[in-house]
Amino acid sequence: MKSRQCQPCTACCDGWVQIKVKGCEAYPGKPCPHSMGAGCDDYENRPIDPCHKFECAWVKKNSVLPINLKPDECGTLVIESILVWQGITVDLAVPVGREIPKKNLTQLMQLAEKNMRPLIYQQQDSKSKMLEKNPLTLAYGPPEFQQWVLENQAKGRALW
Protein backbone atom coordinates (compact mmCIF):
# COMPACT_ATOMS: atom_id res chain seq x y z
CA MET A 1 0.00 0.00 0.00
CA LYS A 2 1.32 3.45 -0.90
CA SER A 3 2.37 5.36 2.19
CA ARG A 4 0.69 8.67 2.85
CA GLN A 5 2.52 11.85 1.96
CA CYS A 6 2.47 15.11 3.90
CA GLN A 7 2.64 17.48 0.95
CA PRO A 8 1.08 19.93 0.59
CA CYS A 9 0.10 19.85 4.29
CA THR A 10 2.19 22.00 6.63
CA ALA A 11 -0.20 21.99 9.60
CA CYS A 12 2.38 20.86 12.16
CA CYS A 13 4.87 23.52 11.01
CA ASP A 14 2.22 26.21 11.11
CA GLY A 15 1.73 26.15 14.86
CA TRP A 16 -1.55 24.26 15.09
CA VAL A 17 0.19 21.85 17.40
CA GLN A 18 2.56 23.28 19.99
CA ILE A 19 6.17 22.48 19.19
CA LYS A 20 9.58 23.89 19.99
CA VAL A 21 12.03 24.16 17.09
CA LYS A 22 15.64 25.07 17.90
CA GLY A 23 14.41 26.75 21.08
CA CYS A 24 11.67 28.68 19.32
CA GLU A 25 8.06 27.95 20.24
CA ALA A 26 5.34 27.50 17.65
CA TYR A 27 1.66 27.50 18.62
CA PRO A 28 -1.71 28.63 17.22
CA GLY A 29 -1.16 32.02 15.64
CA LYS A 30 2.64 31.64 15.74
CA PRO A 31 4.02 29.28 13.07
CA CYS A 32 7.57 27.99 13.12
CA PRO A 33 9.74 30.83 11.77
CA HIS A 34 10.97 28.49 9.02
CA SER A 35 7.47 27.75 7.77
CA MET A 36 6.75 29.51 4.53
CA GLY A 37 3.13 28.42 4.51
CA ALA A 38 3.91 25.97 1.73
CA GLY A 39 7.01 24.33 3.14
CA CYS A 40 10.17 24.79 5.13
CA ASP A 41 12.84 27.31 4.14
CA ASP A 42 15.55 25.28 5.92
CA TYR A 43 14.40 21.75 5.18
CA GLU A 44 17.91 20.28 4.83
CA ASN A 45 18.87 21.53 8.30
CA ARG A 46 15.62 20.82 10.12
CA PRO A 47 16.25 19.27 13.52
CA ILE A 48 15.60 15.62 14.32
CA ASP A 49 13.28 16.61 17.15
CA PRO A 50 10.57 17.53 16.39
CA CYS A 51 10.84 17.88 12.60
CA HIS A 52 12.07 14.43 11.54
CA LYS A 53 10.38 12.64 14.40
CA PHE A 54 6.94 14.19 14.38
CA GLU A 55 4.20 12.21 12.71
CA CYS A 56 0.56 13.03 13.08
CA ALA A 57 -1.86 10.13 13.34
CA TRP A 58 -2.95 10.56 9.71
CA VAL A 59 0.52 10.15 8.20
CA LYS A 60 1.61 7.23 10.39
CA LYS A 61 2.09 3.87 8.74
CA ASN A 62 -1.08 1.78 9.10
CA SER A 63 -2.95 4.84 10.32
CA VAL A 64 -6.39 4.18 11.78
CA LEU A 65 -7.59 7.52 10.41
CA PRO A 66 -9.48 7.47 7.12
CA ILE A 67 -8.01 9.25 4.13
CA ASN A 68 -10.44 12.18 4.41
CA LEU A 69 -8.97 13.24 7.76
CA LYS A 70 -5.76 14.70 6.34
CA PRO A 71 -4.99 17.72 8.55
CA ASP A 72 -4.87 20.42 5.88
CA GLU A 73 -8.07 19.16 4.30
CA CYS A 74 -10.23 18.29 7.29
CA GLY A 75 -9.39 21.01 9.80
CA THR A 76 -7.94 18.78 12.48
CA LEU A 77 -4.58 17.30 13.37
CA VAL A 78 -4.62 14.18 15.52
CA ILE A 79 -1.76 13.10 17.77
CA GLU A 80 -1.86 9.53 18.96
CA SER A 81 -1.18 8.43 22.51
CA ILE A 82 -0.91 11.87 24.09
CA LEU A 83 -1.47 10.37 27.53
CA VAL A 84 -2.58 7.24 29.31
CA TRP A 85 -5.62 7.24 31.59
CA GLN A 86 -6.20 4.20 33.80
CA GLY A 87 -4.11 2.11 31.43
CA ILE A 88 -6.07 3.31 28.38
CA THR A 89 -4.39 5.25 25.60
CA VAL A 90 -5.87 8.66 24.86
CA ASP A 91 -5.55 10.61 21.59
CA LEU A 92 -5.54 14.37 21.03
CA ALA A 93 -7.24 16.28 18.19
CA VAL A 94 -6.33 19.93 17.71
CA PRO A 95 -8.09 22.25 15.27
CA VAL A 96 -6.31 23.45 12.14
CA GLY A 97 -8.16 26.71 12.32
CA ARG A 98 -10.48 27.88 15.07
CA GLU A 99 -12.37 24.65 15.61
CA ILE A 100 -12.69 21.15 14.25
CA PRO A 101 -15.51 21.04 11.68
CA LYS A 102 -18.50 19.33 13.30
CA LYS A 103 -18.79 16.44 10.87
CA ASN A 104 -15.10 15.58 11.27
CA LEU A 105 -15.31 15.83 15.05
CA THR A 106 -18.28 13.45 14.92
CA GLN A 107 -16.20 11.06 12.83
CA LEU A 108 -13.34 11.25 15.35
CA MET A 109 -15.75 10.56 18.20
CA GLN A 110 -17.13 7.53 16.37
CA LEU A 111 -13.58 6.25 15.85
CA ALA A 112 -12.80 6.85 19.52
CA GLU A 113 -15.76 4.68 20.49
CA LYS A 114 -14.95 1.98 17.95
CA ASN A 115 -11.31 1.79 19.03
CA MET A 116 -12.13 2.33 22.73
CA ARG A 117 -9.67 5.21 22.95
CA PRO A 118 -10.90 8.32 24.74
CA LEU A 119 -10.34 11.57 22.89
CA ILE A 120 -9.20 14.96 24.06
CA TYR A 121 -10.00 17.69 21.58
CA GLN A 122 -9.44 21.41 21.48
CA GLN A 123 -11.15 24.45 20.06
CA GLN A 124 -10.54 28.16 20.14
CA ASP A 125 -12.76 30.23 22.41
CA SER A 126 -15.56 31.60 20.23
CA LYS A 127 -15.65 34.76 22.41
CA SER A 128 -12.06 35.61 21.58
CA LYS A 129 -11.02 36.99 18.22
CA MET A 130 -7.40 36.08 18.88
CA LEU A 131 -5.96 32.62 18.45
CA GLU A 132 -5.17 31.39 21.95
CA LYS A 133 -1.92 29.59 22.58
CA ASN A 134 -3.82 27.12 24.76
CA PRO A 135 -7.23 26.47 23.24
CA LEU A 136 -10.16 25.16 25.27
CA THR A 137 -9.62 21.50 26.03
CA LEU A 138 -12.56 19.11 26.05
CA ALA A 139 -12.90 15.41 26.66
CA TYR A 140 -14.85 12.66 24.94
CA GLY A 141 -15.04 9.24 26.52
CA PRO A 142 -16.39 7.54 29.62
CA PRO A 143 -17.92 9.89 32.24
CA GLU A 144 -15.07 9.00 34.66
CA PHE A 145 -12.57 10.15 32.04
CA GLN A 146 -14.40 13.41 31.45
CA GLN A 147 -14.53 13.97 35.21
CA TRP A 148 -10.81 13.26 35.52
CA VAL A 149 -10.06 15.85 32.82
CA LEU A 150 -12.28 18.44 34.52
CA GLU A 151 -10.68 17.82 37.92
CA ASN A 152 -7.19 18.21 36.55
CA GLN A 153 -8.15 21.40 34.74
CA ALA A 154 -9.73 22.79 37.94
CA LYS A 155 -6.49 22.11 39.79
CA GLY A 156 -4.44 23.69 37.02
CA ARG A 157 -2.62 20.45 36.32
CA ALA A 158 -1.26 19.82 32.84
CA LEU A 159 -2.88 16.79 31.26
CA TRP A 160 0.18 15.89 29.19
For residues 38 and 158, which CB has a smaller minimum distance to ligand SF4 in the complex? 38
**Which residues in 85-97 are b (16+ Cβ under 10 Å) and which e?**
beeeebbbbbbbe
Q: Least distance to ligand SF4 from the beta carbon of 126, Å? A: 24
Q: Is 46 in the site for ligand SF4 (CB under 6 A)?
A: yes
Residue 25's alpha-carbon distances to 18, 117, 151, in angstroms, are 7, 29, 28
Contact with ligand SF4 (CB under 6 A) among 6, 79, 82, 109: 6
**94 near ligand SF4, rule: CB under 6 A:** no
27 interacts with ligand SF4 by CB under 6 A: no
Alpha-carbon Rg for the chain in angstroms: 16
Dihedral angle of Cα 144, 145, 149, 155, to the nearest 10 degrees: 40
Q: Which residues bind ligand SF4 (CB under 6 A)?
A: 6, 9-13, 21, 32, 34-35, 40, 42, 46, 51, 54-56, 58-59, 71, 77
